[in-house]
Amino acid sequence: MKKSDNTRREFLKAMGWGAASLAAGGCTGNFNWLEGEKNRRRPNIIFIMADDHAAHALSCYGSKINQTPNLDRIAHEGVRFDNCFCTNGICAPSRAVILTGKYSHLNGHIDNTKTFDGSQQTFPKILQKAGYQTALIGKWHLKSDPQGFDYWNILPGQGDYYNPDFIEMGTNTKYHGYVTDIITDLCLDWLKDRRPDQPFCLMYHHKAPHRSWIPALRHLSLYDDCDIPLPENFFDDYATRSDAARQQEMTVAHHLLLHNDLKVSPLPDEKSTDQKWWLENYNRMDEQQKKLWDAYYGPRNEAFRRTTFTPQELAKFKYQRYLKDYLRCIAAVDENVGRLLDYLNQTHLAENTVVVYTSDQGFYLGDHGWFDKRFMYEESLRMPFIVRWPKMTKPGRVSREMVMNLDFAPTFLDLAGLSVPRDMQGRSLQPILRGKHPGDWRTAVYYHYYEYPGWHMVKRHYGIRTQRYKLIHFYYDIDAWELYDLQQDPYELNNLYHNPAYGDIVKKLKSQLQLLRKEYGDSDELTQKYLDEYLRQRREKPTIHQ
User: Judged by CB, which is closer to Ca ion: 50, or 472?
Assistant: 50
What is d(CA 163, CA 50) in angstroms, rounded to the nearest whole number? 19
| Rg, the chain, Cα only | 24
User: Judged by CB, which is closer to Ca ion: 360, or 414?
Assistant: 360
What is d(CA 201, CA 185) in angstroms, rounded to the nearest whole number? 17
CB of 315 to Ca ion, least distance (A): 24
User: Judged by CB, which is closer to Ca ion: 206, or 427?
Assistant: 206
User: Judged by CB, which is closer to Ca ion: 51, or 367?
Assistant: 51
What is d(CA 279, CA 310) in angstroms, rounded to the nearest whole number? 28
* Site residues (vs Ca ion, CB under 5 A): 51-52, 91, 360
Per-position DSSP letters for 73-110, written without gaps between them? HHHHTSEEESSEE-SS-SHHHHHHHHHHSS-HHHHS--
Classify the C-alpha dihedral 436-441-443-448 as positive or negative.
negative
For residue 371, what are the contacts with CB-CB under 8 A and spacing of at least 6? 211, 250, 251, 252, 255, 256, 322, 363, 364, 365
The closest of 166, 290, 275, 158 to 217, measured between CA atoms, is 290
CB of 92 to Ca ion, least distance (A): 8
CB of 91 to Ca ion, least distance (A): 4
Judged by DSSP in three states, 474 sits in strand
User: Judged by CB, which is closer to Ca ion: 210, or 321?
Assistant: 210
Residue nearest to Ca ion (CB): 91
User: Judged by CB, which is closer to Ca ion: 100, or 405?
Assistant: 405
CB of 363 to Ca ion, least distance (A): 8
The closest of 54, 99, 47, 101 to 74, measured between CA atoms, is 47
The amino acid at 541: K
CB of 538 to Ca ion, least distance (A): 22
Check whether the bond before 212 is cis (ω within 30° of 0): yes
User: Judged by CB, which is closer to Ca ion: 37, or 360?
Assistant: 360
Report in angstroms the alpha-carbon separations of 405 from 224, 231, 308, 402, 454.
35, 26, 45, 11, 24
Tally of CB atoms within 10 A around 175: 18
The amino acid at 306: R
CB of 210 to Ca ion, least distance (A): 6
User: Judged by CB, which is closer to Ca ion: 179, or 392?
Assistant: 179
Describe the strand order of the beta sheet including 444-449 as a list of residue ranges: 444-449, 461-466, 469-474, 480-485
User: Judged by CB, which is closer to Ca ion: 52, or 261?
Assistant: 52
